[in-house]
């Protein structure tokens, strides 16, 4: 099992490292996006509105723009836990489908909560934001997403296998957890790899398995194909069976008082707890108004609390039947992966676990080269080893520098630039690619130190770049108490320090040893003393 573990890990290590880095950033998607759109205002105190009056304004507007609709949806201004920010007043709808069409046309408008007119929002700079980083962790970049899903899926499956075989290899897994022998070369790398892997093993198993479950119908289509069929319609039938399918009748303006319904919900849940109002009419059922509570109290995040009222009588209707157990199981698995329910501390724990994941992969990759370097240095170099070493430095030190460069690009590229968001991403990959070239032609140990310093500088200087290019820097955000924006800058400083520490450490261990080692230790094989 040991060699299976080694080779599974090596083949997919770099892709997985990329997936872990971008996916870990994904736990702060919305915070990153806010930082990358500095035109948006600082977070202020939440204003209070009369939600009942807003609902009436919204319905007036919906009657005008969507007289024949499958649903009306009104988002009331609220502090959202789904995307961890203030969500403004808006309406959306879907028109009734035309003859022969399955879906109508979806539309939305942002409304001003004071005047009721259309709201002209701030137009932030064009950016991929946190969501582009997040998307990369399952859809990669530059590649057709259907192909990318499968590449990431195959790598994920190999990671699952690497973990299972890793556990099988380590019979003394408990003892290994408490073993760290620093300063002993290969043995230290092995201990580090073991400690990191065992520490967050439950997280790694969860994140890997749930990642596969996200795309189960792509990765394991056999069940659906054999039982329903392979064409799109058959898949549609499967999902209709699973989620329940309703056809809808056009909605009409509720004659019962919607403000009264909202008041009832606010009584039950507390003020500021109403998120949205939906008007809908499933064919063959009573038309209803559904008041939804701000999400967040549950692990199964999207299964939020709702109250349903009859459109005309205003009577409370029975709630929707609960999801079947299998669906609930799937929802929990996906919820654990996404961690939307996580409050700040738990969110940081997710982040830490993600960093440990990158650490597990990184130490594993380095271990592979350290193990082989000794024998190959004696025989004078080997292309495979050289390639793995270069890919390791470029990915473990160069990719994080590339992510920092993505943020630099957000601040430095001209705001009116065409294809601006694409260029932000291009900068990330240019830096990563250049790191690879550099690592290939430079002495590996020197490349490690230099690229780690590059990453350290790229992160540590970001708050400085922010001061020079925007008015949303630490000098403003800390006094204003905007901890999302301040937190981003501080985290970048922290990452800068972490990379600087690694650079110092690597320099001390790898560069100095080469000078002092000769003669000092007679027992060591000659090759190491070169």
Binding stretches for another protein (CB under 8 A) = 1, 4, 157, 160-161, 164-165, 168, 209, 212-213, 216-217, 219-220, 222-224, 226-228, 238-239, 241-242, 324, 326-327, 329-330, 333
Nearest Cα neighbor of 510 from 456, 446, 435, 452 is 446
Which CB sits closer to another protein, 138 or 453?
138
Bridge partners (DSSP) of residue 108 are 92
Which CB sits closer to another protein, 212 or 399?
212
Kindly state the smallest distance separating residue 277's Cβ from another protein, in Å: 31
Q: What DSSP letter does each residue of 365-430 carry, written as one string?
A: HHHHHHHHHHHHHHHT--HHHHHHHHHHHIIIIIHHHHHHHHHHHHHHS-TT-TTHHHHHHHHHHH
Which CB sits closer to another protein, 333 or 500?
333
Nearest Cα neighbor of 90 from 58, 63, 138, 121 is 58
- Report phi then psi at 90, rounded to 5: -155, 165
- Report phi then psi at 215, rounded to 5: -115, 35
The three-state secondary structure class of 67 is coil
Which CB sits closer to another protein, 77 or 211?
211
Which CB sits closer to another protein, 98 or 226?
226
Which CB sits closer to another protein, 98 or 227?
227
Kindly state the smallest distance separating residue 363's Cβ from another protein, in Å: 23
Rounded to 10 degrees, what is the CA torsion of 455, 458, 460, 462?
A: -150
Tell me the C-alpha distance between 530 and 519, whole Å. 11
Kindly state the smallest distance separating residue 225's Cβ from another protein, in Å: 8
Which CB sits closer to another protein, 220 or 268?
220
Region of residue 477 (phi > 0: left; psi between -120 and 50: alpha; otherwise: beta)? alpha
Q: What DSSP letter does each residue of 497-521 carry, written as one string?
A: HHHHHHHHHHIIIIIHHHHH-TTT-
Nearest Cα neighbor of 130 from 490, 488, 461 is 488
CA 204 to chain centre: 15
Which CB sits closer to another protein, 164 or 498?
164
Tell me the C-alpha distance between 93 and 437, whole Å. 51
In the numeric block, the tokens 């270069």 are attached to 390
Kindly state the smallest distance separating residue 295's Cβ from another protein, in Å: 23
Kindly state the smallest distance separating residue 236's Cβ from another protein, in Å: 12
Kindly state the smallest distance separating residue 153's Cβ from another protein, in Å: 10
Kindly state the smallest distance separating residue 224's Cβ from another protein, in Å: 6
Which CB sits closer to another protein, 169 or 470?
169
Which CB sits closer to another protein, 226 or 515?
226
Residue 461 corresponds to which tokens in the numbers above?
Answer: 């200087």
Tell me the C-alpha distance between 124 and 530, whole Å. 56
- Report in angstroms the alpha-carbon separations of 441 from 295, 377, 390: 52, 17, 8
Give CB contacts under 8 A, 24+ apart, made by 317-322: 317/286, 317/288
């Amino acid at each position: 099992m040991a060699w299976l573990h080694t080779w599974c890990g090596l083949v997919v290590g770099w892709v997985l490292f990329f997936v872990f880095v971008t996916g870990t950033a994904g736990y702060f998607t919305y915070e990153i996006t806010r930082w990358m759109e500095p035109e948006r205002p600082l977070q202020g105190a939440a204003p209070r509105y009369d939600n009942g009056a807003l609902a009436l304004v919204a319905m007036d507007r919906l009657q005008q723009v969507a007289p024949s609709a499958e649903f009306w949806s009104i988002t009331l201004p609220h502090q959202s836990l789904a995307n961890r920010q203030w969500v403004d007043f808006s309406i959306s709808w879907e028109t009734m489908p035309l003859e022969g069409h399955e879906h109508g046309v979806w539309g939305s408008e942002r409304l001003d909560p004071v005047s009721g007119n259309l709201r002209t929002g701030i137009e932030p700079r064009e950016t991929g934001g946190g969501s582009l980083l997040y998307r990369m962790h399952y859809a990669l970049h530059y590649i057709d997403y259907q192909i990318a899903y499968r590449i990431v899926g195959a790598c994920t499956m190999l990671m699952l296998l690497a973990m299972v075989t890793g556990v099988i290899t380590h019979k003394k897994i408990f003892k290994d957890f408490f073993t760290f022998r620093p300063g002993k070369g290969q043995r230290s790398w092995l201990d580090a790899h073991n400690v990191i892997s065992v520490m967050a093993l439950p997280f790694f198993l969860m994140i890997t398995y749930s990642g596969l479950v996200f795309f189960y119908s792509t990765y394991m289509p056999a069940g659906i194909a054999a039982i329903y069929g392979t064409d799109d319609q058959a898949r549609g039938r499967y999902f209709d069976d699973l989620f329940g399918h309703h056809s809808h009748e056009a909605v009409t303006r509720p004659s019962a008082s919607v403000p009264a319904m909202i008041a009832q919900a606010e009584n039950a849940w507390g003020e500021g707890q109403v998120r949205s109002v939906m008007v809908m009419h499933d064919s063959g059922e009573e038309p209803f108004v559904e008041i939804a509570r701000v999400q967040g109290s549950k692990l199964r995040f999207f299964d939020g609390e709702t109250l349903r009222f009859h459109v005309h009588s205003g009577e409370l209707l029975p709630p929707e039947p609960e999801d079947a157990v299998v669906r609930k199981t799937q929802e929990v698995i996906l919820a654990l992966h996404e961690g939307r329910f996580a409050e700040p501390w738990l969110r940081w724990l997710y982040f830490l676990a993600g960093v440990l994941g990158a650490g597990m992969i990184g130490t594993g990759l380095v271990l592979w080269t350290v193990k082989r370097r000794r024998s190959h240095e004696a025989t004078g170099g080997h292309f495979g080893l050289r390639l793995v070493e270069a890919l390791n430095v470029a990915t473990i030190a160069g990719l994080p520098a590339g992510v920092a460069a993505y943020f630099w690009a957000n601040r430095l590229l001209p705001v009116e630039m065409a294809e601006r968001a694409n260029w932000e991403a291009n900068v990330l990959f240019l830096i990563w690619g250049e790191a690879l070239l550099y690592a290939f032609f430079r002495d590996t140990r020197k490349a490690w130190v230099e690229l780690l310093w590059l990453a350290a500088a790229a992160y540590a200087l970001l708050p400085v770049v922010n001061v020079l290019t925007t008015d949303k820097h630490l000098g403003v955000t800390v006094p204003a108490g905007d901890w999302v924006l301040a937190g981003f800058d501080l985290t970048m400083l922290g990452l800068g320090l972490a990379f600087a520490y690694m650079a110092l450490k690597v320099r001390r261990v790898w560069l100095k040893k080469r000078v002092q080692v000769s003669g000092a230790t007679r027992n060591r094989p000659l090759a190491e003393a070169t």
